[in-house]
Amino acid sequence: MAVFGKAQYIKRVEDNRLLTGTGGFTDNLARPNQVHVVLVRSPHAHAKIVNIDTAAAKQAPGVVAVYTWADMAAEGVGDFSFPTMFPNADGSKPEMTPRRSLAHEVVRHVGEPVVAVVAETYDGVLSDINAMPVAEADARAALNNLSFGPVAEGNCGGGTGMIAYGFKGGTGTASRIVSFGDRDYTIGTLVQANHGQRDWLTVCGVPVGKHIKDNTPQSQLQERGSIIVVIATDLPLAPHQLKRLARRAAIGIGRNGTPGGNNSGDIFLAFSTANPQPMAHRAPLMLGLGMVNDEYLDPIYQAAVQSVEEAVVNAMLAAKDSGGTPHDRFRIDAIRHDELVAVMQRYGRFGETQTSA
Rounded CA separation 335/165 (Å): 10
Query: Of all helices (H) and strands (E), which one includes residue 227?
Result: strand 226-233
Amino acid in the structure at residue 312: V
Under 8 Å between Cβ of 270 and 228: no
H-run or E-run covering 280 = none
Burial class of 127 by CB neighbour count within 10 A (0 to 12, 13 to 18, 19+): middle
Q: Parallel, antiparallel, or unpaired for β 47-48 and 106-107?
A: antiparallel
3-class secondary-structure state, position 99? strand
Q: Which of these, 131, 163, 41, lies nearest to 327 by C-alpha position? A: 131
The residue among 199, 215, 228, 253 whose CA lies nearest residue 123 is 228
Q: Are 164 and 312 in contact (CB under 8 A)?
A: yes
What pairs with residue 142 in β-bridges? none
Residues serving a catalytic function are 226, 264, 266
